[in-house]
Each structure stands twice: as structure tokens, then as C-alpha cells.
Structure 1
Amino acid sequence: MVEAGMETSRSNGSDASSREVCDLVTVPTRQGLEAVDILRRGAGDAVGPVLHDDGGGTLGFLVPPGTAAAWDVPGSTCTETDGRGLSLNPEPPVEGSDWLLPPGEADLATDPAVLRRALGEAARLIEAADSCR
């Protein structure tokens, strides 16, 4: 879906040239959309920028660097950036992708513990809905 590394910059009045590299958690679109809804209903701004890959059927959540080392959520992958990256701006960083939640409308990165809980809840909701068919 997306190149392994992504650089982001904060525009909160600090030095605009400072960059932070994020890891990327990729999940199936259905589970990702449920997780975004869960995160947006939660307290505060719990969800950072999210990419949608139309062709691949996945969503990508930006998470803090180092998340990939301990990521173990079934049905998802977390790609470590190793300091490589693309600059996040209003344009999607990869052709064929689009922002579901663009930078500037979302926090810099999604907290991995919060994302883990939301993905688990989303999986349970999907399982329950599918069992009712």
C-alpha cells in the first residue's frame, strides 16, 4: 500500500523543518473504517492521519516510531520506517492512495495502545455482524 517510511512535520508553531518519522499499521479497509469510527467517538483526538489504498483495500494508520518492534495484532502489519520516509502534505504520498484523515485534520500519529484496542473492538463488531447474516 504505502512505502515503509513516512516523515511528518508538526505545524504547531515549532520549527517547521523538524521532522518525525512514523511507522505504519496497515489493516483491511472494513476493520480500519470501524476502528476510525471507534477512535473518533472516543475521548479527545485519538486518531492521527490515515491513508486509504483504493486498489489494495487497506487503511494505513500512522503510529509513533518504534511501534513495529512490538506490534502483534492479528490481521494487521506494522512497517518499521528505519528513518526512511516521505513528507506528509495535503497530497497523498503514494500514487493510488488517498487520505481518509489528512495531516492537519488529525494528530501527528495514533497512539498504538489506543489503536490496538480499537482494532480489537472493530474485529469483534465485524464478527458479530457477520454472524447475524
Structure 2
Amino acid sequence: MVTVPSRQGLEAVDILRLRTGVGPVLHDASGGTLGFLVPAGTAVDWDLPGSACIQTHRRVRAAAGDPPVSGTCWLVAPEHSNPVNDPTLLRLALGEAARTIRAAEGIQAADGR
């Protein structure tokens, strides 16, 4: 599972939905992070700054049921998504999301907000 701050994750979910489709996504109880379920083995090569990739110990079932990580709920449930998030496409979407956020913050700073 790839975890990122919520703002970046929500942007990435929108990007993936518009382009290629999104896989299962979790959000934590505090709303601070989102977790994108990715294929087993993704953590070995994951190195995107600002994110973490951890292995979960439960498989996602065909039906949403209980999320594979305690203290989370489904943002995008497995039955309403691709089976998992493609790591390459996720990396691209997260990069684009980070750039979008930085640009929006720059505009707000320029406007004095």
C-alpha cells in the first residue's frame, strides 16, 4: 500500500479516475492520509519522496468488507474500482498532483492569501 498526505492523494484519485481508472483507496480515521492498494512487491522499488509503500498482510477481497488496515475506511472500494492501482500510473498521478498543489499554493501566495 502506498500512503500519501490526503490532499495529494485526493488529487491523484481524481487524475486516475479521469485517465486510466483508480484501484482501491483507503483513508485513515483522522483523514490525514490516503492509502492506494498496489500489487504485492511494489515496496521493493518504491522511492517517491513524500510517500511510503508498506506491505499489508491481508488480501483485498472481491467485496469491500473490512479494509485490510485497521483504523481505515474505503474511499474507493474494491468492487467499484480496478483490482489494484498500477504503480507506474500511480507514481505519475502523484507527481502531477504534487505539482498542481505547489502551483495552487504559489497562486495563493501571490494573491496574498
Q: What TM-score do the two structures reach when normalised by structure 1?
A: 0.73
CA RMSD of aligned residues (A): 1.6
Matched residue type, 1:48: G
Structure with higher helix content: 2
User: In the TM superposition, what is the alpha-carbon distance from 1:97 to its structure 2 partner?
Assistant: 1.6
Larger mean CA deviation between 93-102 and 49-58 belongs to 93-102
Query: Are residues 94 and 66 of structure 1, via their aligned partners in 2, closer, same or farther at CA, if it must alter by over 3 Å?
Result: closer
The number of residue pairs the alignment matches comes to 106
Query: Are residues 106 and 92 of structure 1, via their aligned partners in 2, closer, same or farther at CA, if it must alter by over 3 Å?
Result: same
Residue 39 of structure 1 aligns with which residue? 16
Say which SS state the counterpart of residue 85 (structure 1) adopts. Answer: coil
Do the aligned residues in 1 keep the contact of 2:60 with 2:78 (CA within 8 Å)? no
Q: Which 4+ residue blocks in structure 1 deviate beyond 4 angstroms?
A: none
% identity of equivalent residues: 58
Matched residue type, 2:107: C
User: In the TM superposition, what is the alpha-carbon distance from 1:94 to its structure 2 partner?
Assistant: 4.2
Aligned counterpart in structure 1 of residue 5 of structure 2, from 6, 22, 28 = 28
1:1-133 superposed matches below 5 A: 24-43=1-20, 46-55=21-30, 57-81=32-56, 84-85=57-58, 88=61, 89-133=64-108
Structure with higher strand content: 1
* Per-residue deviation, residues 68-120 of structure 1 (Å, max 9, x unmatched): 00001110000034xx3255433334443211001110111000000000000
